[in-house]
Amino acid sequence: MSLLITGGTGYIGSHTVVEIQMLAASEGKEWDIVIVDDLSNSSTKVLDRIKQITSKSVTFIKADVCDYDAMNTLFEQYDIEAVIHFAGHKAVGESSEKPLNYYHNNVSGTVTLLRVMELHKVKKLVFSSSATVYGDNISPLNETMSTSATNPYGQTKLMIEHILFDLAKSDSDWSIACLRYFNPIGAHHSGLIGENPNGIPNNLLPYVAQVAVGRLAQLQVFGDDYDTVDGTGVRDYIHVVDLAQGHVKALQNLDKITGCKAINLGTGNGTSVLEIVNTFKEISQQDIPYKIVPRRLGDLATVYANADLANELLVESNKKFTNDD
Ligand code: NAD
Ligand code: UD1
């Protein structure tokens, strides 16, 4: 049986492919992995890197998930049992400049994928959602809280979640894990795969890393007047390999889920910008020059997960879970 991974040559997708090959094989479930990616934000170079790490090959198909015929052909060609759906655009700022691109790619792409899955009676899905759907709720954030979004990127994640909940309500054969990621960071310990954003990074960790290697002169710390430990923003940074292993666990536990279940993937701990800078400095022994600048529009003071459900569902229990309301 094959596992389809959309967006599998991207940052989180590539780490997940590696963890599925390593962990799932050691637990006796071998998957034939089929990656579909349009390479809009990644490169096929990562396929060789995955092979170097795992000694296994994957099937790669260059296609756009919005292309119904291409997706249908793929499902005709391969005996797909389940899908992990990473493919999507993810830049918050760009989503406000090009909202139609984001609604088309993320929402229409997902609807196209779901229609093809339904046609081929493939009803197991792990979806990449985001903590951004919690809007300005107070942390720790748990899955029963209300959801809202403040930018088109966040809206696409929220709309897709609603589509998934409605779909699962309409047909109880679906098992969907809707994983709400907090802040993924880091890279595989081999150094062969990692995050390599084009242009100037928006996110904190890649920015700090580029200051550390001298590619960028200094970090701008967006605000030091928040009500936090040192006045700078607090986030829940989760290592990308832990996040990837969360997908393996979700896949292995899909049969416990009837319907669609939202699950946080975070550590449950918050870390401030200055704590990150100081730790990075200490470990890398590199200076990280920074300057405090005004707050970034749309930023919240503190965002971190309540990670109990992931522990309960993905790590510990035999409990069964049904649809979220
Ligand atoms: P990424 O850009 O590295 O990976 C996404 C991959 O999808 C890329 O390889 C890109 O080429 C591909 N893609 C985009 N649109 C496509 C389409 N229409 N058809 C086929 N392939 C397409 O991003 P990532 O950080 O690995 O994120 C993966 C998923 O996780 C995304 O859906 C993102 O919104 C979500 N997410 C990411 C973060 C984060 O901080 N990285 C946080 C929360 C949620
Ligand atoms: C951002 C996105 C969010 C996305 C997440 C992970 C926004 C509003 N939100 O979240 O939707 O899911 O990335 O990709 O863009 N910081 C600095 N200087 C910098 C960069 C960041 O001080 O140059 C601070 C920020 O103010 C924040 C923290 O570092 O307090 C983390 O920022 P970032 O990495 O951009 O992630 P989020 O803002 O949490």
> Which residue numbers in the chain have pLDDT < 70?
24-25, 317-325
Best CATH choice for the domain 2-185+237-266+305-316 from the list 3.40.50.720, 3.90.550.10, 3.30.70.270, 1.20.1090.10: 3.40.50.720
Rounded distance, CA 157 to CA 137, Å? Answer: 17
Q: Name the nearest CA neighbour of 9 among 30, 38, 32.
A: 38
Q: Ligand 2 pocket: which residues have CB below 6 Å?
A: 92, 130, 132, 183, 202-204, 207, 219-222, 233, 235, 273, 296, 298-299, 303
Q: What is the pLDDT of residue 188?
A: 97
Tell the residue nearest (CA) to atom 22 of ligand 2: 221
Q: What is the pLDDT of residue 165?
A: 98
Task: Check if the beta carbon of residue 238 is closer than 8 Å to that of residue 265.
Answer: yes
Atom of ligand 1 nearest to the CA of 157: 34
Each domain of the chain, given as residue ranges in start order, spans 2-185+237-266+305-316
Q: What is the pLDDT of residue 227?
A: 97
Centre of ligand 2 to C-alpha 53, Å, is: 30
Measured from the CB, is residue 65 less than 6 Å from ligand 1? Answer: yes
| CA dihedral for 249, 271, 280, 93, sign (positive or negative) | positive
Question: pLDDT tens, 95-104?
Answer: 999 999 999 9
Q: Name the nearest CA neighbour of 323 among 174, 179, 181, 114.
A: 174
Catalytically active residues are 153
Q: What is the pLDDT of residue 325?
A: 43
